[in-house]
Amino acid sequence: MRKAIIAGNWKMNKTPDEARALVEELIPLVADAECEVVVCPPFVDLCPVSKAIKGTNIHLGAQNIHWAKSGAFTGEISADMLKKFGVEYAIVGHSERRRYFGETDATVNMRAKAALENGITPIICVGESLEQRERGETDEFVASQVRGALEGISADDARRVVIAYEPIWAIGTGRTATAEMAEETITVIRKTLRSIFGNDAAETVRIQYGGSMNPQNAASLMAMENIDGGLIGGASLKAEDFSKVVKYR
C-alpha cells in the first residue's frame, strides 16, 4: 500500500514571519491527518518553519536542490544546507523552473540524484503544455520526462522517489484535469516506471497530481487508483484550504 502524500508548494510566497504564522495555524488543523503532510516554503522560510513544526506530523520540503556539494553556483542551494534544517523532500523540475529558469531533463536528473544520495526524497515534476495535449503528444512527452529524470538511477533508489504529474495548463489557472484525465496520464507514468524498474518498484513509487487541486476536487482525484497524493500551489497558502485537501476523505 502506498501512503498518500499531500505537499504544499508555496512557490515565491510568504516572508519568514508570514511563513511561521501560516504553519502555526496549520499544525492543529492537520494533527490527525491520515496522509503524509509536507510543506515546501521558500529557502529563507525553512529555518522558522522547521522550528515551528518540530515534534508535529508536518514534514519539510525545499523547492529546489543543487547537484554540487558546494561551490560557485550563485542562487543555488546544496543538500547539506537543506539537511541542516531537517529538509526531507525537494521539488525538482517544476514546470516553472523548466520554463523560466532553463531547467532541462538533464539538470532535473542531476538534482534528483543529489537528493537521493543525501537521503532527501525528490518530488520530480512532469507535465505537458496545452499545445502538446491538443496535438496528442501527452503520453509520449511525459514518459520521456520520466525517463530523463530517472536516467542512471537504480530500482532501489527509484522506489523512494515521488513523481508529481502537473499538466502545465492546469497550474494556477483554476482549470483542473478531470480525475479521469489525471488518472490516465498517471497510469502512463506508472507503466513507464514498470518498463524501466520492473513491477515492484513501479508499484511502490508515489505519484501525485498537481494543478488547481483544492478542497472541492481533492476527493475525486484521490479516489483514483494510481493517484497517491497532491502537490498544491494556491490552496496551500491558506491553512484552512490546505488542511481540507489534506483531509480529503
> Which residues are identified as catalytic?
94, 166
Q: CB of residue 213 vs ligand 13P: minimum separation in angstroms?
A: 6
Q: Using CB positions, name the residue nearest to ligand 13P.
A: 233
The one-letter amino acid at 76 = E
Indicate whether 41 belongs to the interface with ligand 13P (CB under 6 A).
no
Site string for ligand 13P, 180-219 (x = CB under 6 A): ------------------------------xxxx------
CA proximity to 129, closest of 179, 68, 173, 89: 173
Residues that contact ligand 13P, how many (by CB under 6 A): 14
Query: Which residues from 131-170 bind ligand 13P, rule CB under 6 A?
Result: 166
Indicate whether 233 belongs to the interface with ligand 13P (CB under 6 A).
yes
Listed ranges 44-52, 133-141, 142-150, 233-241: which one lies at the site for ligand 13P (CB under 6 A): 233-241
Q: Where are the beta strands (DSSP E) in the chain?
A: 5-9, 36-40, 58-62, 89-92, 121-126, 162-165, 206-210, 229-232
* Integer Cα distance of 121 and 118 in angstroms: 9
Q: CB of residue 166 vs ligand 13P: minimum separation in angstroms?
A: 5
The one-letter amino acid at 249 = R
Query: Which residues from 103-132 bind ligand 13P, rule CB under 6 A?
Result: none
- 6, 9, 133, 163: which one contacts ligand 13P (CB under 6 A)? 9
**What are the grid coordinates assigned to 159, written together?**
522506489
Q: CB of residue 246 vs ligand 13P: minimum separation in angstroms?
A: 14
The smaller minimum CB distance to ligand 13P, of residues 88 and 203, is found at: 88
The smaller minimum CB distance to ligand 13P, of residues 93 and 201, is found at: 93
The pairs formed by 24-31 with CB atoms below 8 angstroms and a separation of 24 or more are 24/52, 25/239, 26/58, 26/239, 26/242, 26/243, 27/52, 27/53, 27/56, 27/58, 29/239, 29/240, 29/242, 29/243, 29/246, 30/57, 30/58, 30/242, 30/243, 30/246, 30/247, 31/56, 31/57
Q: CB of residue 80 vs ligand 13P: minimum separation in angstroms?
A: 25
Indicate whether 229 belongs to the interface with ligand 13P (CB under 6 A).
no
CA proximity to 143, closest of 154, 157, 127: 127
Task: Judge whether 182 and 227 are in contact, CB under 8 Å.
Answer: yes
Q: CB of residue 167 vs ligand 13P: minimum separation in angstroms?
A: 10
**Residue whose entry in the numeric block shows the C-alpha cell 499538466:** 167
Residues interacting with ligand 13P, by CB under 6 A?
9, 94, 166, 171-172, 210-213, 231-235
